[in-house]
Chain A
Amino acid sequence: MSAVRPVRTGEQVATPEPLITIKSAAKVYGNNRGLSPLNLAIHAGERVALVGPSGSGKTTLLRLLAGALVPDEGPNSVSINGKSPANLKPGRELASLVGIVSQRFDLVPHLPVMHNVLAGRLGHWSLARSILSLVWPMERRAAQQALARVGIADKINERPGRLSGGEQQRVAIARMMMQSPLVVLADEPVASLDPARAEEGMALLVGLVHSDLGHANGDGRSSERALIASLHTASLIRRHFTRVVGLRDSRVHFDLPAGELDDAVLDELYDLGDGYGDVEPLAGLAARDG
C-alpha cells in the first residue's frame, strides 16, 4: 500500500517542544506484550486518533499516558508537559495534566447529573468543600454552563441511570470540561453510540481541546491542549482529527495526517492484524519517526 508511509502532520512542525513525549516506552504483562518499545511525540493542538485491532496496544498506550501504568523502562519514558504521569500521585496535579473519557463514561449511577459534572472539580476542592457541595452545590453556574455547552442543560437534576447513552457521554464530557486537563484521553468514546450520536459526541470531545467552546473556566489554554482517542471509524477520524496512529501487534504500524487515512489503509491494518508475517519493516519504519 503506497498510502502507508510515516508522515508527520504539517501544522505543528514549527512548535519546538512536544507536549507529550514517549521514548521507547514498553509494557509487558507476564508473557503478553502490552506494548513494544514505542516512540511518539505529540504537540499541543494535535488531535490524535489511535486505530488498530483489539489487543494492538491502544488501551495500554492510553493507560501509560494516564499514569495508570508504569512503563517497563521506568516512569520517565512517558512525559507530558515535562512531567511523568506515573510519578504523580492521583490528585490535583495529575488531574489537571490528563483526563480520561471511557467507553462506558463511568458516571456514578445514583448521583444527580449536577454532582457528576462537579466531580470534575474534586481534585481542586478541599474535602470540606466537597462535603458541603453535596448539600449545597458549589460552582453550580459552571456546571450549568458546561451542561448547556453539551446541550443537556435541562438534565441537570436527572440521575445518570435515566439518561440515554449519548446523554451520558455528554455528562462525561461536561465533567471533563470541569476537570479541564491539558491532555484528554478517550478510550473508544463513541463505540456504544449510534452513528448520529457518535458524530455529535466526537464533535463535543474535539471541542474540549480544539476551541474555547470547550472550557468552562475559559482559562485560554485550549491551544495548549491535545486529544488522544482510540476509535475505528475512518470518516470520524478524517473529520475530527489531525493525525492518525495505527497500532498493530503492540507496535506503531503507520502514523499519518488524518486526511490521508482512507478505508483501504484501515482495512489493511485490520487484515494484517490476523497474520504474523510481513509487517516488521512497516512497523520499524514508523517507529523510527518521532
Chain B
Amino acid sequence: MERTGIQQSRPTGGQRARFNVLRWSVYAAALLVVIAWAFILLDGNSGFGDLFRERTWQNAGGFIASLAGQGSDGPSPFVQAARWRDTGRLALNTLAMSILAMGIAGAGALVLLMPGARNVSDGTLGGAPSRTGALVYGAVRILYTLTRAIPELVWAMLIVFFLSPGIIPGALALGIHNLGIVGRLTSEVVENLDPAPARALRAAGASSPKVLLYGVFPQALPMFLTFLMYRWEVVIRTTVVVGFLNAGGLGREFRLRMSWFHYEDVALLLVWYLLLVIAVDILSAQLRRRVRWD
C-alpha cells in the first residue's frame, strides 16, 4: 500500500477530492476544538475560573518573588561561587546527554538510511529489487513509527527501569525517540533524490554499496546533518525533562529543589537551562549555515 505513488499523482478528478479533504478536515478540527474545550471546561475542576481570581495571581506573584529570592534565609545561591560551580557541572552533564542522544539518533539513522528508503530497497537508485530489501524496508519503517510515536519521557520511564541513573539512560531515551524522527525525515530526503547521478555511477561500473557511498550519501548528508542540528535544539530543551526521572543533569536537581521549595536554586538552574538553550540555538544555526555547501 506504500507503492501507490503513481495513482496518487494522477490528476483526473483530483481537484474536487482534494478540496473536500481540506474542507472536512478544517470542519472536523473546529468541531474537535469545541468538544475538547467543552469537555475540559464543563468539568468542575478545570481551573479555568481560577484564572479570574485574585488569589491565583497573588500566588503567582508570590512564586515569582520567591524565585527572585524573597523570603529565603541565608545567602542567595547566585552569590556563591560553589553553587555556580556545582550547577555548572550539572549543566555540562545535560549538554553531554544531549550530544550523546544526538550521537545515538544520528548513528542509528545513518545505518538505517539506506534500508529505510524505498528507492534504495526497490532498486530505483541502482541495484536489484529483492524480497529481503522490501522486508527490511518495512521493518525499518515500523521501527521509525514506533520510536517516534512514543515520547522521550515515556521511553525514559521504561529505560530507568533497567539502567542505573546517570546520563546514559536519558541519552538513550532521547536518542531512541529522535532516531524515529531524524530517520524518517532523512529517508524522505533519500526518496526524493534525483536518481540520475546514481544511475550514472552504476553505468560507470560501481556496485550497489559504491553507488550508495558516492551517489546517495554525499547528497543526503547535508540535509541529514541539518535535521540533526534542528533536533539538537529540541533535545537540549528536553534533556532537562528527561532528567526529572533520575536520569541525571539539571533536570533531577530541578525537580528536587522544586519539591524542597528551594525556589532560588530553581531560579539558578533555570538560568543555566536558558544559557544552554541559547548556546545550542546559536551553535546549531552556525553549523547549519556551514552545512549548506553548494
Q: Which of A91, A99, A104, A130 is in CB contact (< 8 Å) with B214?
A: A130
Q: Determine whether the beta carbon of B214 is less than 8 Å from that of A127.
A: no
Instruction: Judge whether A285 is part of the interface by a CB distance below 8 angstroms.
Output: no
Q: Determine whether the beta carbon of A100 is less than 8 Å from that of B210.
A: no
Q: Which of B204, B213, B221 is in CB contact (< 8 Å) with A120?
A: B204
- Report how far A179 CA is from B206 CA in the complex, Å: 11
- Report how far A90 CA is from B209 CA in the complex, Å: 13
Contacts of A115 in B (CB 8 A): 214, 218
Q: Determine whether the beta carbon of B197 is less than 8 Å from that of A108.
A: yes
Contacts of B205 in A (CB 8 A): 90-92, 94-96, 122-124, 179
Instruction: Judge whether B35 is part of the interface by a CB distance below 8 angstroms.
Output: no
Given known contacts A111-B218, A115-B214, A162-B294, is B196 in contact with A175 (CB within 8 Å)? no
Q: Determine whether the beta carbon of B196 is less than 8 Å from that of A106.
A: yes
- Report how far A131 CA is from B200 CA in the complex, Å: 18
Given A122-B206, A124-B205, list of 18 further CB < 8 A pairs?
Answer: A90-B203, A91-B205, A99-B204, A102-B200, A104-B196, A106-B200, A108-B219, A109-B294, A115-B214, A115-B218, A119-B215, A120-B204, A122-B214, A123-B205, A130-B209, A134-B214, A159-B293, A160-B294
Q: Determine whether the beta carbon of A108 is less than 8 Å from that of B204.
A: no
Contacts of A160 in B (CB 8 A): 294
Q: Determine whether the beta carbon of A134 is less than 8 Å from that of B213.
A: yes
- Report how far A277 CA is from B202 CA in the complex, Å: 41
- Report how far A245 CA is from B283 CA in the complex, Å: 60
Interface size classification for chain A: 35 or more
Q: Which of B200, B201, B209, B221 is in CB contact (< 8 Å) with A110?
A: B221
Instruction: Judge whether A234 is part of the interface by a CB distance below 8 angstroms.
Output: no
Q: Determine whether the beta carbon of B218 is less than 8 Å from that of A110.
A: yes
- Report how far A160 CA is from B214 CA in the complex, Å: 14
B189-232: which residues lie under 8 A (CB-CB) from chain A? 194, 196-207, 209-210, 213-215, 218-219, 221-222
Complex interface bits, A200-222 against B, C-beta within 8 A gives 1, otherwise 0: 00000000000000000000000
- What is the interface of chain A, defined by CB distance below 8 A to chain B? 66, 68, 90-92, 94-96, 99-100, 102, 104, 106-111, 115, 119-120, 122-125, 127, 130-131, 134, 159-162, 175, 179
B181 to chain A, nearest CB (A): 22
15 residue pairs bridging A and B, Cβ less than 8 Å apart: A90-B126, A91-B205, A94-B205, A100-B200, A100-B203, A109-B218, A110-B293, A111-B219, A119-B206, A122-B201, A122-B206, A127-B209, A130-B206, A161-B294, A179-B204
- Report how far A131 CA is from B202 CA in the complex, Å: 16
A93 to chain B, nearest CB (A): 8
Given known contacts A108-B218, A110-B222, A111-B218, is B213 in contact with A130 (CB within 8 Å)? yes
Contacts of A124 in B (CB 8 A): 205
Contacts of A162 in B (CB 8 A): 294
Residue of B nearest to A185 (CB): B203
- Report how far A160 CA is from B215 CA in the complex, Å: 13
Contacts of A123 in B (CB 8 A): 204-206
- Report how far A221 CA is from B213 CA in the complex, Å: 30
Contacts of B196 in A (CB 8 A): 102, 104, 106
- Report how far A120 CA is from B203 CA in the complex, Å: 9
Q: Determine whether the beta carbon of B294 is less than 8 Å from that of A108.
A: no
Q: Determine whether the beta carbon of B197 is less than 8 Å from that of A109.
A: yes
A75 to chain B, nearest CB (A): 17
Contacts of B219 in A (CB 8 A): 108-111
- Report how far A131 CA is from B207 CA in the complex, Å: 12
Contacts of B218 in A (CB 8 A): 108-111, 115
Residue of B nearest to A127 (CB): B209
Q: Give the 9 A-B CB pairs with smallest separation, nearest first.
A: A123-B205, A95-B205, A161-B294, A106-B200, A122-B206, A111-B218, A108-B197, A110-B218, A106-B196
Given known contacts A91-B207, A102-B196, is B294 in contact with A119 (CB within 8 Å)? no
- Report how far A191 CA is from B222 CA in the complex, Å: 30
- Report how far A110 CA is from B200 CA in the complex, Å: 15
B124 to chain A, nearest CB (A): 14
Q: Determine whether the beta carbon of B215 is less than 8 Å from that of A99.
A: no
B292 to chain A, nearest CB (A): 10
- Report how far A133 CA is from B219 CA in the complex, Å: 17
Contacts of B213 in A (CB 8 A): 130-131, 134
Complex interface bits, B265-294 against A, C-beta within 8 A gives 1, otherwise 0: 000000000000000000000000000011
- Report how far A179 CA is from B196 CA in the complex, Å: 18
- Report how far A265 CA is from B26 CA in the complex, Å: 63
Given known contacts A110-B294, A161-B294, is B207 in contact with A119 (CB within 8 Å)? no
- Report how far A99 CA is from B206 CA in the complex, Å: 12
- Report how far A90 CA is from B221 CA in the complex, Å: 26
- Report how far A196 CA is from B203 CA in the complex, Å: 29
- Report how far A19 CA is from B214 CA in the complex, Å: 32
B290 to chain A, nearest CB (A): 13
Contacts of B222 in A (CB 8 A): 110
Q: Which of B126, B201, B203, B207 is in CB contact (< 8 Å) with A108?
A: B201
Contacts of A68 in B (CB 8 A): 203
Residue of B nearest to A134 (CB): B213
B269 to chain A, nearest CB (A): 42
Contacts of B200 in A (CB 8 A): 100, 102, 106-107
Contacts of B206 in A (CB 8 A): 90, 119, 122-123, 130
